[in-house]
Amino acid sequence: MLKHVSFLTGDLPAAVAFYERLGAVIEKRAVTPEGYDRAVLRLGEGRLQLFEVTGETPRPHPHWAEHVALYVSGLRALLPELRAAGVRVTRDLQPSPGGRDMAFVLDPDGRQVELLERDGGEASR
């Protein structure tokens, strides 16, 4: 099940306005600890995170910058199966900020995919 998709943008207000026209609702606006302006938009059941990156700000770490986040069941068992199938794990199993098991892998095209344990408390993002 989709949790969220994260994109970088050079113009956060314009990006937010665009997605609002498509039916998105702002859930949260904040500045990350790293100093990036961030908006979280609700789109149906899933979320879209937008991080503003301008010429003055350094590129954020690829693990959280642009990725798809999915809820999965049984992540502790799934991760070794993915490794055995040749999937590259870029961030090993660890607790998410909300306490869920979390890991990052690459899809066949090299895109970051965040895997979050479906069972457990809701992560605060």
Report the pLDDT value the prediction gives residue 91, as an integer from 0 to 100: 93
Q: With 80 as the cut, is the pLDDT of residue 120 above it?
A: no
pLDDT in tens, 67-79: 888 989 999 999 9
90 and 113 both lie in a single domain: yes
Report the pLDDT value the prediction gives residue 86, as an integer from 0 to 100: 93
Provide the number of structural domains found in the chain: 2
117 and 102 both lie in a single domain: yes
Q: Which two tokens stand for residue 42?
A: 């609700």
Please give the residue that has the higher pLDDT: either 97 or 56. 97
pLDDT in tens, 32-79: 888 889 999 998 888 999 999 887 766 766 556 788 889 899 999 999
Supply the mean pLDDT for the chain: 86
Whole domain around residue 79: which residue ranges?
Answer: 67-125
Report the pLDDT value the prediction gives residue 22, as an integer from 0 to 100: 78
Interior angle at CA 18, CA 20 and CA 38, nearest 5: 80
Q: Domain holding 23: CATH number?
A: 3.10.180.10
Q: Which long-range contacts (CB under 8 A, 24 or more apart) does 44-47 make?
A: 45/1, 45/2, 46/2, 46/3, 46/4, 46/5, 47/3, 47/4, 47/5, 47/125
14 and 51 both lie in a single domain: yes
CB-CB contact of 66 with 7 (8 Å): yes
CA 85, 90, 92, 96 dihedral sign is: negative
Q: 37: Cβ–Cβ under 8 A, 6 or more apart, which residues?
A: 12, 29, 31, 51, 52
- pTM value is 0.69
CB-CB contact of 66 with 48 (8 Å): no
Alpha-carbon distance of 12 to 81, in angstroms, equals 38
DSSP state of 122: P
